[in-house]
Amino acid sequence: MANEQAGTFPDPLSVPTPEGCEGWEEMYPYYVLFSEDRAEYERSKFWFQNRYHLMDPMKPFDMVTPEFCYIAIANRNNRIFQLPPATGVDFRVVNGYGYLAGSPVLDGERIAARAAVFGQRAGHYFENWAEIERDWQERTNAEIAKLEALQMPDLPELEDMSVVTNHQAHGAGFEMHQFFNRLMEAKHLAWHFHMEMILIGFGAYFTFFEFCQQAFPEIDKQTIANMITGLGGTPFDRADEELKRLARVAVDLDLDDAFGGGGSAEVTFKGLADSEAGRQWLEEYDKSKYPWFMVNTGDGMYSHHRAWIDDPRMIVTGVQGYITQLRAGKDLTRPQDQRAEGDRIARGYRELLESEDDRKAFDAMLGLARLVSVHIEGHKFYIEHWWHGLFYNKVRDLSRVFVKYGFWDDTEDIFYLHQAEVLEALIDMLLGWAGEWPARGPKYWPPKVQRRREILERLQDWTPPPALGPVPEVVGDPVLSMLWGIDGDALREWATPVDADTTQLRGTPASSGVVEGVARVVHGIDQMDTVQQGEILVAPTTNPSWTPVFSRISACVADGGGMMSHAAIVCREHGLPAIVGTGRATRAVKTGQRIRVDGNTGIVTILTGGGPEGLGGGREEDR
């Protein structure tokens, strides 16, 4: 994918539109498109595809995520904390795919001035972290409760008499507008909550990582990560524990067959309702489901990342997997000694340090990294999963009104409109409702929605280049390396063209062990059911909500992500070899090929050309 000139990726303004997708730009707001009028800026930046969060082409409405998220990042890092080396991440959309650019501060004096402000402000957070974290949790819970309570108003034929007797100025039209505004505010606010503590938390992680790598040049990143993480007890762990509990209940009730039928999740749930034992299980399910199964099937970045409650495939898959393990006599109890192991490793490295000064620095940095780790590992559940799940479902409530007034046919169609267009449509609808004359929407939107659906389906088959523009001199922003794995190694790998003969890929070794097995390339959550026991999952990215799948795979390879991406954390917890940040595994590897995943070195080797002879379980080689 790289141009012939070394160190340069394709020109951001010259990426061709795939056939049949002409006019895709019309779906997105003007400010996310590469444009000639600010070409100099566009061409000066290094843009990388955000495979970690935005691996699918984005429906126009889903732009709310990057829009609010990247406002929140830059707002927090730049305008509030004055992070010394960078002001935030800018973003663009090309053929439906999201690209990001770091924004390093290059002027030394400016960096120094920012450092002074940052020290004071981030220092306030670091010094009062535990207290602020408790407060953050309370504030977050309160906002989630507010969103839960946010009710969509009716648009009645005749408004209630109380509007008259209460001398109420506004009618339901205003309330509907207010509902929409509050909903969008809630989404925007979620991202500010998300970024309040997490970014400087990553700063603390980054500091400890860099120290360890300087003191021990040969240390691998997963060893550093093991020293920090592994406290457990995150809401994701809780969701996983609930799945195990439900699997035990199913085993006790002899419900193996109900889960082993191979039918859809819907059929499974219907079947359960038909028997006494099944109904008992469903009662237990009701106790588990809220809020823990508000975990969604992705990471909340897209409207199609449905909460497990709404898309119970993950629940059925997970319970099924655990039933199999229970019947095989496996103990599902979480390993308790993970933190003990982390402590042991930390003590070992600490002893090896040369001086008392080094040990003091090590203690301070490890202490801070561990302090922030609970928030880093747990925050996503509250923001991206619970909060977002509620948000998207209330957008669906709104969409049902549009469906009722003939704007489109399917509740999900609202996501083919950008948030600004939804507001336009809302005003159109409210005008029509209030005066009982025809709105234009029912004529205007259906063909647009249809065209956009076609384009997005086609774009799904397009492979976005991993990066655009010139390689940057300085990355600067610690989040870029911690979360997206942007460093010299990654960029070199991305710049290597993929050809048919590629048999080796290099990524970040994220979880140790070597496994050989059959690859299953999965591009999105919709294909999760195809994963067979013992296969090696190859995905653009993974996240903790895919947890149930980890009970059946033997290793994981991801295009995106760094050491602290959730794929890495989950694999370490499950003791599966993992390599993240390969840049192109989903393109280079084909389903059915035998591959070797070396989680110690970060090398993926394609062993066979695929085909049915290779199908079968993975072989554990060296754990």
Amino acid at 37: D
Binding of other proteins by 621 (CB under 8 A): no
CB 212, min distance to other proteins, A: 9
- The whole-angstrom separation of Cα 185 and Cα 193 is 12
CB 120, min distance to other proteins, A: 9
Binding of other proteins by 473 (CB under 8 A): yes
Q: Pick the closer one to other proteins by CB: 487 or 620.
A: 487
CB 464, min distance to other proteins, A: 21
Binding of other proteins by 113 (CB under 8 A): no
Candidates 16-24, 163-171, 275-283, 468-476; binding stretch for other proteins (CB under 8 A): 468-476
Query: Site for other proteins (CB under 8 A): which residue of 160, 267, 474, 575?
Result: 474
If you write DSSP's letter for every residue of 250-316 in order, what string do you get?
HHHTT-HHHHHS-S-HHHHHHHHHTSHHHHHHHHHHHHHHTTGGG-BSS-SSSTT--BTTTSTHHHH
Regarding beta strands 508-511 and 578-580, do their DSSP bridges make them parallel or antiparallel, or are they unpaired? Answer: antiparallel
Q: Pick the closer one to other proteins by CB: 327 or 360.
A: 360
Listed in sequence order, the residues at least 6 apart from 435 whose beta carbon sits closer than 8 Å to its beta carbon are none
Of 116-145, which residues contact other proteins (CB under 8 A)?
Answer: 118-119, 122-123, 126-127
Which segments of 330-440 does DSSP mark as H helices, in order?
338-352, 356-380, 388-404, 419-435
Query: Site for other proteins (CB under 8 A): which residue of 18, 29, 104, 232?
Result: 104
Of 70-99, which residues contact other proteins (CB under 8 A)?
Answer: 83-85
Query: Site for other proteins (CB under 8 A): which residue of 4, 36, 131, 218?
Result: 218
Binding of other proteins by 475 (CB under 8 A): yes
Query: Exposed, middle or buried: residue 312 (CB in 10 Å: 0-12, 13-18, 19+)?
Result: buried
Cα 369 from chain centroid? Answer: 22
CB 21, min distance to other proteins, A: 32
Q: Pick the closer one to other proteins by CB: 220 or 573.
A: 220
CB 129, min distance to other proteins, A: 9
Candidates 159-167, 188-196, 232-240, 488-496; binding stretch for other proteins (CB under 8 A): 488-496
Listed in sequence order, the residues at least 6 apart from 223 whose beta carbon sits closer than 8 Å to its beta carbon are 345
Query: Site for other proteins (CB under 8 A): which residue of 16, 329, 488, 497?
Result: 488
Size of residue set near other proteins by CB under 8 A: 60
- The whole-angstrom separation of Cα 621 and Cα 595 is 13
Candidates 64-72, 110-118, 150-158, 497-505; binding stretch for other proteins (CB under 8 A): 110-118
Q: Pick the closer one to other proteins by CB: 525 or 579.
A: 579
Q: Pick the closer one to other proteins by CB: 203 or 548.
A: 203
Tokens of 297: 């099937």
User: Using CA of residue 335, residue 336, residue 337, residue 342, what is the dihedral sign?
Assistant: positive
Of 586-605, which residues contact other proteins (CB under 8 A)?
Answer: 600
Tokens of 13: 């303004």
The alpha carbons of the chain give a radius of gyration, in whole angstroms, of: 25
Q: Pick the closer one to other proteins by CB: 450 or 496.
A: 496
Listed in sequence order, the residues at least 6 apart from 617 whose beta carbon sits closer than 8 Å to its beta carbon are 517, 518, 533, 534, 535, 554
The DSSP secondary-structure symbol of 180 reads H
Tokens of 390: 């509620």
CA atoms in the 13 A half-sphere facing the CB of 65: 27
CA-closest candidate to residue 582, choices 464, 466, 482, 473: 466
Of 325-354, which residues contact other proteins (CB under 8 A)?
Answer: 345, 348-349, 352-354
CB 131, min distance to other proteins, A: 15
Listed in sequence order, the residues at least 6 apart from 623 whose beta carbon sits closer than 8 Å to its beta carbon are 513, 514, 575
Q: Pick the closer one to other proteins by CB: 59 or 370.
A: 370
Binding of other proteins by 364 (CB under 8 A): yes
Query: Site for other proteins (CB under 8 A): which residue of 491, 510, 519, 537?
Result: 491
Candidates 132-140, 269-277, 303-311, 475-483; binding stretch for other proteins (CB under 8 A): 475-483
Query: Site for other proteins (CB under 8 A): which residue of 11, 33, 192, 216?
Result: 216
Query: Site for other proteins (CB under 8 A): which residue of 47, 48, 191, 211?
Result: 211
SS (H, E, C) 300-312: CCCCCCCECCCCC
Q: Pick the closer one to other proteins by CB: 58 or 495.
A: 495
CB 356, min distance to other proteins, A: 9
Binding of other proteins by 360 (CB under 8 A): yes
Q: Are the beta carbons of 599 and 555 closer than 8 angstroms?
A: yes
Q: Pick the closer one to other proteins by CB: 432 or 478.
A: 478
Cα 265 from chain centroid? Answer: 23
Q: Are the beta carbons of 540 and 565 closer than 8 angstroms?
A: no
Q: Pick the closer one to other proteins by CB: 220 or 413.
A: 220
Binding of other proteins by 611 (CB under 8 A): no
Rounded to 5°, angle at Cα 332 from 329 and 337? 125
Q: Pick the closer one to other proteins by CB: 111 or 314.
A: 111
Binding of other proteins by 220 (CB under 8 A): yes
Q: Are the beta carbons of 580 and 493 closer than 8 angstroms?
A: no
Binding of other proteins by 476 (CB under 8 A): yes
Q: Are the beta carbons of 484 and 50 closer than 8 angstroms?
A: yes
CB 203, min distance to other proteins, A: 5
Amino acid at 384: E
- The whole-angstrom separation of Cα 197 and Cα 185 is 20
Binding of other proteins by 111 (CB under 8 A): yes
Angle between helices 235-252 and 313-327 (to 10 degrees): 60
Which segments of 328-355 does DSSP mark as H helices, in order?
338-352
Regarding beta strands 594-598 and 467-468, do their DSSP bridges make them parallel or antiparallel, or are they unpaired? Answer: unpaired
Q: What x/- string results for residues 2 through 41 when contact with other proteins is judged by CB under 8 A?
A: ----xx----------------------------------
- The whole-angstrom separation of Cα 119 and Cα 108 is 16
CA-closest candidate to residue 229, choices 208, 257, 210: 208
Report the interface residues with other proteins, using CB under 8 A.
6-7, 83-85, 104-105, 111-112, 115, 118-119, 122-123, 126-127, 200, 203-204, 206-207, 210-211, 214-220, 223, 345, 348-349, 352-355, 357-358, 360-361, 364-365, 367-368, 471-476, 478, 487-488, 491-492, 495, 512, 600
